[in-house]
Amino acid sequence: MLISFFREPANELRGSLKLVLVNLFILAFLCSGCGEGITRSAPSPSRPGKIPGNFTGCATGAFLGSMESFSSLISSFESGSGKELAVVMWFVSWSESFPGGLCDLVRAEGAVPMITWEPWHATVESIATGEFDSYINDFALAARNWGGRLFLRPMHEMNGNWYPWSGFYSGTGEVVAAWKRIYGIFSGVGATNVTFVWSINHRSVPSPEGWNRIENYYPGDAYVDWIGVDGYNWIGDSGEPTYESFSQLFSSVYATLEALASSKPLMISEFACAEGPDKDAWITNAFNSLKGSSFSKFKAFVWFNIIKERDWRVDSSPAALSAFSSSMLDDYFIESLP
């Protein structure tokens, strides 16, 4: 019946049926993979996912200053502390392209890069309304194509009054909207290798009354991977308490963050103690506290290892370096992220 059907139709119908059969044959030929000279697009390479925070211990990290001699700075810090770095942090200003070369250097040292991304050349409002979408998209694509795991920390310490991207100048709602837009663009290009760190100061300035509460800046669990908090013991700086222990710096904000986002891993994204009386004791107490159950959700720390306003370095004195290196002997402080 099928053969007689194809023999008897009119010329117009016969031509149409032949065209259908030819197209079906070509389609079957292509799908069979037997066509010589035919290329098929390769599947997209798999990319690493977000950095998990469900491990035991606390990863070591540092900000080392100048990027001109990155490798030697890392080696010097590690040899002095007796511990390899799991995280190396530095600052990148908006208008700068993605620093793939520096990320390569950090990765070659066995560490994970953490880029603190500062929008000096933008306003929170302009980010939120899409004025910088093209720049963000280019940065996101470059980060994705670099391919390695990294932390990205945009608009840090937004609950203070010292950065133009803070809620003090723009309002907390605009900060949240800008954050969501940045995170959404990275998600849209498939940059699954980028782990976002929403990072606040340990104390809101002005005081956290009404509008400047930490909770008002949180964009929601869907837009945050890790939570970071910064805090320093200034030892008698004007306007600061004479001395703040690790617990005095972080206990209150830790409780706030646990209540705000209980499912998110925490890190101390910047901390240090100024050179002064009992810095070695402060360091010993800080790392003993980090090991304790009261701060068990802190899964990484970044020591701010430069001279800036104060001498924050771990080797600001032999006693300070000895306290730091002795603390790092503990296996709780790990040299690589899982």
Q: Which two tokens stand for residue 239?
A: 């306007």
Task: Give the CATH H-level superfamily of domain 58-334.
Answer: Glycosidases (3.20.20.80)
**Does residue 220 carry a pLDDT above 90?**
yes
Confidence of residue 157 (pLDDT cuts 50, 70, 90): very high
pTM, full prediction: 0.85
CA distance 149 to 281: 35
**Per-residue model confidence (pLDDT) at position 2:** 32
**Per-residue model confidence (pLDDT) at position 241:** 59
Q: What is the pLDDT of residues 61-70, one digit of tens each?
A: 999 998 888 8
Is residue 296 within 8 A of residue 326, CB to CB? The reply is no
Mention every residue, 6+ apart, whose C-beta is less than 8 A from residue 189: 137, 140, 141, 144
**Does residue 38 carry a pLDDT above 60?**
no
CA distance 102 to 109: 11
Q: What percentage of residues in the chain have a pLDDT greater than 90?
A: 78
| Residue in the block written with tokens 């690493």 | 48
Q: Which two tokens stand for residue 107?
A: 């990765």
**Per-residue model confidence (pLDDT) at position 67:** 80
**Per-residue model confidence (pLDDT) at position 239:** 59
Domain boundaries, the chain: 6-32, 58-334
Is residue 118 within 8 A of residue 157, CB to CB? The reply is no
Q: What percentage of residues in the chain have a pLDDT greater than 70?
A: 84
Q: HSE of 2 in the Cβ direction (CA atoms, 13 Å)?
A: 1
Q: What is the pLDDT of residues 281-329, one digit of tens each?
A: 999 999 999 999 999 999 999 999 999 989 999 999 999 999 999 999 9
Mean pLDDT computed over every residue of the chain = 87
